[in-house]
């Protein structure tokens, strides 16, 4: 008969202990609550009964804007004459490059129709 290896006995003992402890995990999974966050019944009722969760200011459709300025910006974008971005903060890390942006020669003029969309 072959002698029993000590490593095999240790491995078998470890597996049997882990299998025994694995049966306890079902006990820990069973709780008296529905979810882990249960117990906030009052907070859940407040949210359920809330009519409109948005603030009153969100319904204000009178947004102040400058239509002429927006129209000029769209026209500059359409004719490819946009301004390079400039930093508005106090940091000196952003230094804008001083270049002049010239419109390309193939840019459409306001009298030419736009290209057809496929």
Q: What is the pLDDT of residues 83-107, one digit of tens each?
A: 777 767 676 665 555 555 555 555 5
Q: Which residue has the higher pLDDT, 104 or 59?
A: 59
Q: What's the half-sphere exposure (Cβ side, CA atoms, 13 Å) at 94?
A: 8
Least trusted range by pLDDT, from 22-26, 38-42, 54-58, 59-63: 22-26
- CA–CA separation, 99 and 87 (whole Å): 15
**Which pair of tokens denotes residue 109?**
């003029």
pLDDT band for 75, please (50, 70, 90 cuts). very high
First to last CA, the chain: 85
pTM here?
A: 0.26
Give residue 93's pLDDT: 62
């Amino acid at each position: 008969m072959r002698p029993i290896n000590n490593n095999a006995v240790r491995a078998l003992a470890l597996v049997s202990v882990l299998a025994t402890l694995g049966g306890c995990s079902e006990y820990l999974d069973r709780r008296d609550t529905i979810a882990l966050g249960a117990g906030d019944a009052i907070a859940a009722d407040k949210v359920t009964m809330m009519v409109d969760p948005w603030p009153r200011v969100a319904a204000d459709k009178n947004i102040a804007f400058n239509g002429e300025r927006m129209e000029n910006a769209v026209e500059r974008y359409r004719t490819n004459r946009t301004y390079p971005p400039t930093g508005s903060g106090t940091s000196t890390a952003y230094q804008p490059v001083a270049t002049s942006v010239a419109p390309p020669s193939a840019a459409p003029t306001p009298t030419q129709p736009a290209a057809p969309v496929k």
